[in-house]
Amino acid sequence: MSYDLYFYKRKNSQLTEQQIGNYLDENLQFNISDVEKQWNYENPETGVYFLIDWNEEDPEFGKDYDNFPEHKYLNFSFSVNFFRPRFFAFEIFPIIEKFIHDLDLSVLNLQDETNSEELKRYENGYLQDQWIRHNDGVTLTHFDELKMDYMPLEKSNYIWLFQSNRRILQDNLQEDIFVPGFFVLKSRSDEKLYTACVWPQHIPVILPPVDYLIVQKKYKKLFRTFEESGLVSYHEIIEQFGNLFSQFKSTVPDLKVLKPIDANKIEKQFNALKLGDNIENFGQLVGMDSFVNVKP
């Protein structure tokens, strides 16, 4: 089940299909498609994806595509799935709105509640809000049937905000400090979703507020090197080392930083941490596209 848009130009416009393809090649980030005339956006940080496709003919609508006297169908369409977290909309539709605006396009939107057979130029934010309404609706309808995993909206949106800025944070640091990415884990014991990030070998780190740290130890004992990994709650980490973490000022709120000068002080205490289950025993990793933000 997907949300689809079809793109048109005015008949007096000189815009060509090749120019549209060139625009997408030059402006669309994270295009992983190796198929000609297909643009598959997939952000490795956030897990957000969508498809823009060129098709000379579409058997579903056939000649109905060109029944608008003042516009011509460009054979380009956009598609994104439903049953996704709302942050998909926050990332996708500003990109699509810019694409429409820059190329002066009109849209056939078969999901439009007011008139699905009319070409329109939508105000910024309309398509985003519409996808969210439809996505929430079909999610609520099929939640139990499809056995969906739920994450509260505020928590989910924070993951997206952090992941959207993680690379920028890392690249702008003046010191050698690690910025870990989010993991989502589904617990075997209660089948709920939890957030986690990795903290290896007590290195300097910027921590977002997660449920668990995946603590990775490496230490020597009796002339042997030992490696251990397991979950430790964020609350326990802050309780143990909070006096050495300071607030990190950023567009992403609630970040804490352990600087290099302080990381060197905690080796023994870090290696003495009692580790919980490893990931395999705790549960399983869940993709960023595999949970929703509403439930019955």
> Which of 120, 142, 164 represents a domain boundary (last residue)?
142
Asked if 39 and 27 count as a contact pair (C-beta separation under 8 A), the reply is no
**What pTM was computed for the model?**
0.93
175 and 124 part of one domain:
no
126 and 205 part of one domain:
no
CB < 8 Å & 24+ apart, contacts of 110-119: 110/4, 110/6, 111/3, 111/4, 119/8, 119/68, 119/71
Confidence at residue 213, expressed as pLDDT on a 0 to 100 scale: 98
Q: Is residue 291 situated within a structural domain? A: no
> Which of 142, 177, 208 represents a domain boundary (last residue)?
142
106 and 166 part of one domain:
no
134 and 216 part of one domain:
no
User: CA–CA separation, 139 vs 183, rounded Å?
Assistant: 23
Confidence at residue 117, expressed as pLDDT on a 0 to 100 scale: 80
Confidence at residue 115, expressed as pLDDT on a 0 to 100 scale: 77
Q: List helix spans (H) across the chain.
A: 17-27, 87-102, 126-142, 153-172, 234-241, 260-263, 267-271, 279-282
Number of separate domains in the chain = 2
62 and 100 part of one domain:
yes
User: CA–CA separation, 32 vs 201, rounded Å?
Assistant: 34
121 and 240 part of one domain:
no
- In tens digits, the chain (296 residues) has pLDDT values of 899 999 999 999 999 999 999 999 999 999 999 998 999 999 999 999 999 999 876 555 555 667 898 999 999 999 999 999 999 999 999 999 999 999 999 999 999 888 778 899 999 999 999 999 999 999 999 999 999 999 999 999 999 999 999 999 999 999 999 999 999 999 999 999 999 999 999 999 999 999 999 999 988 877 788 889 999 999 999 999 989 999 999 999 999 999 999 998 999 999 999 999 999 999 999 999 999 999 99
48 and 92 part of one domain:
yes
26 and 65 part of one domain:
yes
109 and 17 part of one domain:
yes
Instruction: State both tokens at 49.
Output: 């994806």
238 and 136 part of one domain:
no
103 and 192 part of one domain:
no
135 and 15 part of one domain:
yes
Q: Is residue 59 situated within a structural domain? A: yes
Range of the domain at 273: 153-285
